[in-house]
Structure 1
Amino acid sequence: MLPKKHLSGSEKRKRRKLVEELNKSQQGAIDKFLIRNVDVVHENLDHPNENLGDDIDDSNLDDQSEPTIPTNNDIDGEETIPSIDIYDPINWTNLSNKIRDSIIKKGPIRELNLDYPCDDNNRHFKYAYFSRKLNNGEISDRKWLIYYKHADKVFCFYCKLFKSINNKSLLPNDGLSDWKHIIDRLKHHENSNEHMNNMSTWNETRIRLDNNETIDKNLLEAIMKEKDRWRQVLVRIFSAVKCLATHNLALRGSHEKLYQDSNGNFLGLIEMIAEFDVIMQDHVKRIQNRDIHHHYLGHRIQNELISLLANNVKCSIIKIIKDAKYFSIILDCTPDIAHQEQMTLVVRCVNMSAKKLQIEEYFLEFLEVNDTSGLGLFNVLQNVLKCLDLNVHDIRGQGYENGSNMKGKHQGVQKRLLEVNPSALYMPCACHSLNLALSDMAHSCIRATSFFGIVQHLYTLFSSSTKRWKILLANVPELTLKCLSNTRWERRIKSVKAIRFQTPQLRLALSILYDSCVNDAKSKSEAESLYNALGSFEFLLGIVIWYDILFVINMVSKKLQSKSMCIDITIEQVQGILSYFEKFRDEGFTSSMNIAKSIALKMDVEPTLPTKRRVIRKRHFDETNQDDEQNKSPEELFKHEYFFVVVDMAITSLKTIFEQLKTFESILGFLFDSNKLKSLDENELRGRCVTFHSTYTSDVDLNDLYSELKVIQSTLPNKLMSATEILEFVISADCYPNASIAYRIF
């Protein structure tokens, strides 16, 4: 059976209905998009939502999902129609006035540099058809001619928009693809009266739209006025969200209604603004009177605005990183409250956009991690860098904690990243290394472990009830006991400090606790045990030693956590603390003994260490060593078995950290400051440049870098300049490109 040549009446009505629904849905999607971008407001304000009331959490209002484009499946179960492109001439049937006005303002759109497909006769459209040659030799542009690449057809822009029903030509209807006769067809069309009339209509309409002189002028003025009002409202809502997000304050409360208790900071801020601002006051009044359909105060709008702010900040950060080109990554993994492992991504770079160059560290995002192996973490890192449009080959440094999955030399993240980018040198976290050193020191001998056990026991006892806390605070008014941190060991200084300077008061508080615990045998026993422990001279000596150790490490750790910390200062700090412990090993025990004795005398404690009986388990032990051990005094035994063990463990750990840092100094040390650079002669400078170039081969030219640094040596001011100041000098001179790269990498 042959197919029908013409559609039946029911099919025509069905298609006409489909087109009308498509246009309506398309119009809604455009309006929604424009409103979300603070460009247009809803015009149907005459139909308030009956369910609005004062409830700000109405999900049927401003939090509606984006309108969807109807399909044939939605109507008659036929094939799906793709989303509509309003600038596709094929869809210019039964256009709404608003869309038609937008197309008229936009004018004909012409895509250049297209590859025009050939038909069955090997003919195709040519760019030359967009113009015609006049009799006097001039070239006239056919601005009205538009080519639609998806259908491989041409249309007349003017006639397609303003065509009459009787016009049967292909250019204003289905499009022309007869490339053999196209020149004649175009010439005939552009000389027709209807084409000229439609062109005149388009020009007149465009001018009226530009001058706001259309027939709906009053309506457009009202729309523009309402648009401006909405823009002012949205600016205030946006500012309220930005203020709360900037100060890290919660937006929502237990209720989401205006002028209701516990409705949160956001609505409270809106209420406060409405007291002084006329625009927001009018907006709130419209909500209460149910005069508007959308209010934009719901929680989903708040989340959307926060998301817009976050994306804006992230784009700004990424732009700074790209301007600097070179950057380092800092990763750390930790489980969240739901025990989901997550990895933080921090990027360190030179901020070139600031008035004064600064070294910045930017937190970018949390990354959900399901595979915590080195390969799993590396894959997550690669994916996020790709999403952020950051080049993995621009990484020049990587810093992690000391976990094997992160720093592992064979399967860790640092090894896998070095395989992709050999210039991404790995540096372990100096603060985490100090924490590990403290942990090793605390577990180096039984006496040290027992010491921290007593400190923790003190905190547990005094925090077990409110009554006991009051007793403690009555006797120790200045400092309170702190719980020992299991991860940040340098923070234990707060726990030790409270005992170090208030041991007599704490011992008195324990005595009071012992007397008050008449019916609590367990607490009474614990108070007595701790009272005796604080009356031990060994504990007093330990508290003095550990306070000095924790104080110096905590001080250095705080300095190392500065975001502007550079490797040269890190080396100085680690070298300084290493020298301190080497000196403390020789002199610290004597000074600690003197301080501990003064504390013991205040507490009426005998300042002597107990004599412990030593059991020699090996029968064939050397008699000379046995006699030496037995002849040592309790102080000497404490010094060798406790003090030296702890301090030597610190020195060993710090030397390991220092050796790792010295590797970086061998590559970058000549860039530390102006004195370092100027102190090098030509041979030394050449050697340093060779070492730098061997690490960063693709970044700098060896000979150019050497030549530039020689000139910089003689042109730098005669004062001490940091690496950042030298980089500012190099950039301002604008003639040392390789030196600029070297200092940016450093």
Structure 2
Amino acid sequence: MGTDHFRNLANDYPKTKREYSGVNRFLNTSAFTRVLPNGEVVSCDWLVYSPAKTCVFCFPCILFSSDRSIKLCTSGDNDWKNITQNLKSHETSTKHIDSVLTLAHCSAAARRIDAELHKNMIEQHKYWKNVLTRCVATIAFLCERGLPLRGSNEIIGSGNNGNYLGVLELISQFDPFLSQHIRQHTNCGRGHSSYLSKTICEGLVTLMGHKVLDVIKQDILKSRYFSISVDSTPDITHTDQLTIIIRHVNMTNYEPVERFLTFIPISSHTGQNLADTLLQYLSKQNIDFTHCRGQTYDNASNMSGKYIGMQQILKNKNSLVDYIPCAVHSLNLVGQSAVDCCVEAVSYFGFLQRLYTFFVASTRRWRILLIHIEQKPHCLIPKHLSDTRWSARADATEAVFQGYQQFHSALEEIAADDSQNRDTRNQANALAKHMDTIEVSFICELWNDILQCFNQCSKLLQSATIELTTAIGLLKSLAQFISDCKEKFDIYEQKASDRCGNSSYKYESATCQIPKRKKHVSEGSAADAMESMTGKQKFKVNTFNVIIDQLNSAFKKRIEAYSTMQQRFGVLTEFESMSDDDIVAAIERLVGVYASDLSSDFYSEFCQFICWHKEQTKKKCSKEASTGIAQHMFKLMHKTGI
């Protein structure tokens, strides 16, 4: 076994005290190492310490030396004043070298008295290691894909034994080792080890999870600074859980990454409880919250509140934890506010849901729709609206936009089919007439343009490598697109008229009664301006302008939330377009906020960086199109050793 188990190494040895002319001396750990001429420090594995005799001994010489006059193999050596010289002299002696060689010769596995037992133990160790290798690979495969592991039983050969045992059975068809193991060690009942049981499986999952978490924590420690993103969501058992995600820079490839850490069950949604839960978890994982530099959540008041919200409570703990609203949530809220801003917009999305429900409620109606859809290439089937996935509205609108005529023809065929029941024919006729109106066609054109842009922007904002500057640029470009749409009313109207074959608005129809607003006595008898408007003007004022204005207002409000961060960090990526005075002012603001992170001479370093960056740009350094300028500069700095 060697000396590793009984060398009795310690930081200090108070019981070894000896006095030399009034000076106390002790054994110390340096006696167990030796410094080679080249400066390398090696361990003296042959030296052991006896707490009972408070002396050191030579392990090989105790066993094999025939010279019992050597102190290190009989009474031990405790002359701490001369211990270094004594040990050096002993180590280079012929008798010690002979003892070490004898020990090495006798320690060989083939010459041990338990050689057969040792050989069997090595084979067993290798055997079960091979079993575990296959088990771990199977678990990793299933977990990476989010597949369940266990079934209703653990019987090999059963169709209900779950994915874990099922995959192992499949592998065994091509792996003789695993096939033999399954034949010999499975379905043997309790008390027989097979390493394929649910207990071992769950234990391996737990160990692998801990290992993944440890790797993530090590990466966080290497990058030092990080930001947090949390949200609460109920699971399938209706248990509310807090999701904790950390975002940091990977110091291997110098790219920002997002890492999921854990789910934590919570019983309260107050900002204080959420903040306490997060801080307790970070403390338990030895993640220093003082290194946190950002926090982002949705726009719920318990998280984003300025006074008792989670973001303010955390900011009170660490003043540098700046709150940035989630860009994707902000974009979804912009669209939601526009949908709810007027009756026509709400009615349109209600119509999309009714259209979807009408066709999917009957296989016969669905078959009729598919026949009409197949007549036009790239035509989409109707989509269901989702309350949580905003992209579902874009998919539903695009389906109707692409197959407007096909949907209408299918509804007309169903309405004219005498074999259909009366309610079905009435519903089909009502939906078809709804599609005949220019208002529905107009809103379909408008929302398709808007939602397609929203959807593309939302996908980019959900990228793990998105930068704040890029996110703000995307939101601003989308806001500009919405503003430009306000001048396209006539274009949308013409497209809508061509699509539905109708150019009359509902308030211009002879059968439509125009609602009149009740006037107060103080208003007199003057004619109401709305009463004198045409149907087109009323639709433009009450629907089109309201949607566009609501979108513009919501965008302006949410883009302002990012302006502080943009003003603070914009100098790092926009210095080429800034004057020297603006750069000085921006750097002073940045150093003032992050005084604990940046040195006072950061400005001079940044000026040198600007010059270096210009030289690198002249050399046409490669720049990946998928990364932003900040990531590109960060990679370039590490690549060149700046």
Distance between the aligned counterparts of 1:655 and 1:368, measured in 2? 36
Amino acid at match of 1:112: N
Is 1:235 the counterpart of 2:139 in the alignment? no
Q: Secondary structure at the match of 2:51?
A: strand
Is 1:677 the counterpart of 2:575 in the alignment? yes
Query: Are the aligned partners of 2:12 and 2:28 in contact in 1 as well (CA < 8 Å)?
Result: no
Number of the residue aligned with 1:34: none
Is 1:628 the counterpart of 2:532 in the alignment? no
- How far 1:706 moved relative to its partner? 0.6
Number of the residue aligned with 1:302: 201
One of 12, 15, 18 as aligned partner of 1:113: 12
One of 435, 447, 459 as aligned partner of 1:558: 459
- How far 1:496 moved relative to its partner? 1.3
Distance between the aligned counterparts of 1:461 and 1:501, measured in 2? 18
- How far 1:392 moved relative to its partner? 0.6
- How far 1:373 moved relative to its partner? 0.5
Amino acid at match of 2:474: Q
Distance between the aligned counterparts of 1:519 and 1:734, measured in 2? 76
Number of the residue aligned with 1:8: none
1:558-596 deviation per Cα after TM superposition (whole angstroms, max 9, x unaligned): 111111110111111111011111111122x11110110
**Structure 1 residues 625 and 332: alpha-carbon distance in aligned structure 2, compared to 1, 3 A threshold:** farther
Number of the residue aligned with 2:34: none
Distance between the aligned counterparts of 1:570 and 1:107, measured in 2? 61
Number of the residue aligned with 1:535: 436
One of 234, 257, 261 as aligned partner of 2:155: 257
Number of the residue aligned with 2:90: none
Is 1:480 the counterpart of 2:381 in the alignment? yes
Number of the residue aligned with 1:454: 351
Amino acid at match of 2:365: R
Distance between the aligned counterparts of 1:351 and 1:473, measured in 2? 49
Distance between the aligned counterparts of 2:13 and 2:269, measured in 1? 48
Query: Are the aligned partners of 1:568 and 1:669 in contact in 2 as well (CA < 8 Å)?
Result: yes
Is 1:526 the counterpart of 2:427 in the alignment? yes
**Structure 1 residues 129 and 428: alpha-carbon distance in aligned structure 2, compared to 1, 3 A threshold:** closer
TM-score, length of structure 1 as denominator length: 0.70
Distance between the aligned counterparts of 2:101 and 2:121, measured in 1? 24
Distance between the aligned counterparts of 1:305 and 1:413, measured in 2? 36
Distance between the aligned counterparts of 1:251 and 1:552, measured in 2? 40
Q: Secondary structure at the match of 1:333?
A: strand
1:158-557 equivalences under 5 Å are 208-287=106-185, 293-354=192-253, 357-477=254-374, 478-516=379-417, 520-557=421-458
Number of the residue aligned with 1:62: none
Query: Are the aligned partners of 1:158 and 1:202 in contact in 2 as well (CA < 8 Å)?
Result: no
Query: Are the aligned partners of 1:408 and 1:415 in contact in 2 as well (CA < 8 Å)?
Result: yes
Number of the residue aligned with 1:652: 553
Query: Are the aligned partners of 1:131 and 1:141 in contact in 2 as well (CA < 8 Å)?
Result: no
Number of the residue aligned with 2:68: none
- How far 1:131 moved relative to its partner? 12
Is 1:702 the counterpart of 2:625 in the alignment? no
- How far 1:409 moved relative to its partner? 0.5
Number of the residue aligned with 1:718: 617
Distance between the aligned counterparts of 1:546 and 1:252, measured in 2? 46
Distance between the aligned counterparts of 2:339 and 2:320, measured in 1? 37
**Structure 1 residues 430 and 114: alpha-carbon distance in aligned structure 2, compared to 1, 3 A threshold:** farther
One of 147, 151, 154 as aligned partner of 2:51: 147
Q: Secondary structure at the match of 1:485?
A: coil
1:427-466 deviation per Cα after TM superposition (whole angstroms, max 9, x unaligned): 0011111111111111111222122222111122222233
Farther off after superposition, 465-474 or 660-669: 465-474
Query: Are the aligned partners of 1:571 and 1:658 in contact in 2 as well (CA < 8 Å)?
Result: yes
Amino acid at match of 2:293: R
Number of the residue aligned with 2:490: 590
**Structure 1 residues 447 and 679: alpha-carbon distance in aligned structure 2, compared to 1, 3 A threshold:** closer
Query: Are the aligned partners of 1:130 and 1:141 in contact in 2 as well (CA < 8 Å)?
Result: no
Q: Secondary structure at the match of 1:626?
A: coil
1:593-644 deviation per Cα after TM superposition (whole angstroms, max 9, x unaligned): 011010122xxx4544433524131234657983532322111110001111
What are the ranges of 5 or more consecutive residues in structure 1 without an aligned counterpart? Answer: 1-101, 119-124, 133-139, 163-181, 184-199, 736-746
Fraction of identical pairs, as percent = 26
**Structure 1 residues 592 and 235: alpha-carbon distance in aligned structure 2, compared to 1, 3 A threshold:** same
**Structure 1 residues 115 and 539: alpha-carbon distance in aligned structure 2, compared to 1, 3 A threshold:** farther
**Structure 1 residues 709 and 312: alpha-carbon distance in aligned structure 2, compared to 1, 3 A threshold:** same
Distance between the aligned counterparts of 2:497 and 2:230, measured in 1? 47
Q: Secondary structure at the match of 1:565?
A: coil
Instruction: Count the aligned residue pairs.
Output: 571
Query: Are the aligned partners of 1:255 and 1:261 in contact in 2 as well (CA < 8 Å)?
Result: no
Root-mean-square deviation over aligned CA pairs: 3.4
1:1-32 deviation per Cα after TM superposition (whole angstroms, max 9, x unaligned): xxxxxxxxxxxxxxxxxxxxxxxxxxxxxxxx
Distance between the aligned counterparts of 2:521 and 2:30, measured in 1? 111
Q: Secondary structure at the match of 2:293?
A: strand
- How far 1:287 moved relative to its partner? 2.1
Query: Are the aligned partners of 1:358 and 1:724 in contact in 2 as well (CA < 8 Å)?
Result: yes
What are the ranges of 5 or more consecutive residues in structure 2 without an aligned counterpart? Answer: 18-23, 32-43, 63-77, 80-97, 624-628
1:138-157 deviation per Cα after TM superposition (whole angstroms, max 9, x unaligned): xx999554339xxxx96999
Distance between the aligned counterparts of 2:446 and 2:392, measured in 1? 16
Q: Secondary structure at the match of 1:568?
A: helix
- How far 1:518 moved relative to its partner? 6.0
TM-score, length of structure 2 as denominator length: 0.81
Query: Are the aligned partners of 1:116 and 1:126 in contact in 2 as well (CA < 8 Å)?
Result: no
1:482-536 deviation per Cα after TM superposition (whole angstroms, max 9, x unaligned): 1111123343011112222222222232233334576744434333322221222
Amino acid at match of 1:384: Y
Q: Secondary structure at the match of 1:276?
A: coil
